[in-house]
Amino acid sequence: MAPLEIPENLLSLFLKRSCPVCGGERDPGETFCEWCSLRLDPCSSLHRSIDGRRIPPPVTGNPKNDYDTYGIPVYSAVLFAGLPGELIRRLKFGGERHLASAAAKTIRSFSPVLPGPGHLLVPVPVSRRRKRERGYDQALLIGRAVARLTGCRLLRALSRDHGPSQVGLSNEQRRDNVRGVFHVSGRRRVPPGGTVCLLDDVATTFSTIHNAAGALLENGAGVVYGLTLAYRRKAAGSIIRNELTIRTGG
Ligand SMILES: [Zn+2]
Closest Cα partner for 84 from 71, 70, 100?
Answer: 100
Predicted confidence (pLDDT) per residue in 10-29, tens digit: 655 555 589 999 999 999 88
In the predicted structure, residue 144 carries a pLDDT above the cut 50: yes
Closest Cα partner for 76 from 116, 118, 48, 35?
Answer: 48
pLDDT range class, residue 238, cuts 50, 70, 90: very low
Predicted confidence (pLDDT) per residue in 68-109, tens digit: 888 999 999 999 999 999 999 999 999 999 999 999 999 999
Domains of the chain: 1-38 (no CATH), 42-246 (3.40.50)
Gap from CA of 240 to ligand 1 centroid (Å):
30
Gap from CA of 97 to ligand 1 centroid (Å):
17
Closest Cα partner for 82 from 125, 32, 11?
Answer: 32
Residue 98, classed as helix, strand or coil, is coil
| Bridge partners of residue 203, in order along the sequence | 231
pLDDT range class, residue 174, cuts 50, 70, 90: confident
Buried b (16+ CB within 10 A) or exposed e, 195-217: bbbbbbbbbbbbbbbbbbbbbbb
Q: What is the pTM of this model?
A: 0.84
> What is the DSSP code (8-state) at residue 61?
S
Gap from CA of 245 to ligand 1 centroid (Å):
23
Q: pLDDT at position 16, please?
A: 59
Gap from CA of 27 to ligand 1 centroid (Å):
11
Closest Cα partner for 224 from 194, 245, 250?
Answer: 194
**233 or 82: whose pLDDT is higher?**
82
Phi (first) and psi of residue 128, to 5 degrees: -60, -35
Gap from CA of 123 to ligand 1 centroid (Å):
27
Q: What is the mean pLDDT of the chain?
A: 85
Q: pLDDT at position 175, please?
A: 74
**Do 83 and 106 meet the contact criterion of CB atoms below 8 Å apart?**
no
Gap from CA of 39 to ligand 1 centroid (Å):
9
**139 or 180: whose pLDDT is higher?**
139
In the predicted structure, residue 63 carries a pLDDT above the cut 80: no
Gap from CA of 25 to ligand 1 centroid (Å):
7
Mean pLDDT of 124-149: 95
Gap from CA of 20 to ligand 1 centroid (Å):
7
Closest Cα partner for 166 from 124, 104, 199, 136?
Answer: 124
Gap from CA of 228 to ligand 1 centroid (Å):
21
